[in-house]
A and B are shown apart, each in its own frame.
Chain A
């Protein structure tokens, strides 16, 4: 089961500290994401794309407007909306296996189902041999694979990813992108993936939503119809990258702070 995400007139204002003015991160954002679509939110840092993802996850409360997932309004975090963080967010006191299994325990699966599902997920991300290690003993790429396994093990309807590969080196990043796509193509679900990398967006997404720094305004909504698997070196790929980059450059140019400078 996957879900459609519907965002209507979403506004998020953070109260200013000590007399300073309130900060509006998102202003009147509307976006429809159909079921099973892989959407990348692309934008310069500080454009509010992570805030938007946090609102969909239910970690933040909106100031106005609302979000529904499969018709149900989002009021807080839930297992149906799995989240993968840039900082991995593995529980350091649990081994890789315990981390993955924890979500299944919370879901109250039977013990045999827990064991089976955990093994399947850890094998899928090739961490089965490292299952007894603590997160500190893993490389960044392995940590993120463990975190992805933990989230996917719960089988969420929607997968939210907040710059998950942002802290990794390029080779690891590319490999994890391919692994993520392989898993996603094996069991399709709705994915919202935040990134500031054009190449990453073009590699992964069915659709790229480009956000400007101007209160999270959506400046472009592009469909990437390249066939999978995508060759990052192909002419079509580079052309798509160029198109997305141009949109991103326009997003930067429309930034009022830059215009003032």
Chain B
């Protein structure tokens, strides 16, 4: 009897499975989120009766959803959403190849390290938001500024991670590649690139999070559309529910892009020991 219970103890999973809803398994972390939102909504409903806080200042989850639907009805939701998404994608699309190429250059060519590394290390600690006003003066308030700004913010994250990863490539694998007759170019692909790709993907995920972070700042200052613009514009009209809707949308976008990349990583890197 005692041994039986021991075995069941061992087999019990470390993470609770979470409740089932009509056969659909809900992850426990999702339950947390749903509970918080439900409690917030319940508080708002109670507030409708007793008015212990100003509902205009703190909208309910339902109110935020209503504001989102309102934006969608007006036809402006898609404009703002796509404007922000495109800026992030464009900026990342430029930053990734530039950062990876630069990291490879600095890691493999001594002169590139001497020329570029100190400059990059000097600029890197400056928060990109601190340079935004300068960028606006230089490049105006058009799309170029926002693209460059995202590229700039994402570049260093990817560059540093890639450079470290290239320097950490297992030297034994490079020796093996040499003894298999690989040329430097073949080695760059079959050993270095394959080896650093997981770290590049992680850094892309981090850079993407940063991009969502900084695009809002850029859109506060210099934009006619985009979620950051929407927040700032709604502040003028005291539409707090719209402000929160836009903020929540950025959260959802960040979450979704992160999960998308994680899923991609899991598919690409099945070979990893995890």
- Give chain A's interface residues, CB within 8 Å of chain B: 54, 57-59, 76-79, 81-83, 85, 87, 89, 91-94, 102-103, 106-107, 134-136, 150-151, 154, 160
Contact = CB atoms under 8 A, between A and B. Distances in A.
Nearest to B179: A83
Given A89-B172, A93-B194, A102-B190, A82 B179 contact: yes
Contacts of A91: 173, 176, 190-191, 194
B108 interface: no
Given A77-B181, A78-B181, 8 more contacts: A59-B178, A77-B179, A87-B172, A92-B273, A103-B181, A136-B271, A150-B180, A151-B180
Chain B interface, >50% SS class: helix
A213 B245 CA distance: 73
Interface in B232-255: none
Nearest to B186: A106
Interface of B: 170, 172-173, 175-176, 178-182, 186, 190-191, 194-195, 197, 269-273
B271 A106 contact: no
Contacts, number: 70
5 contacts: A58-B179, A89-B170, A92-B271, A93-B194, A151-B180
Contact of B182 (A58, A93, A106): A106
Contacts of B194: 91, 93-94
A58 B178 contact: yes
A81 B179 contact: yes
A151 to B, nearest CB: 8
A4 to B, nearest CB: 19
A154 B181 contact: yes
B198 to A, nearest CB: 9
B180 A103 contact: yes
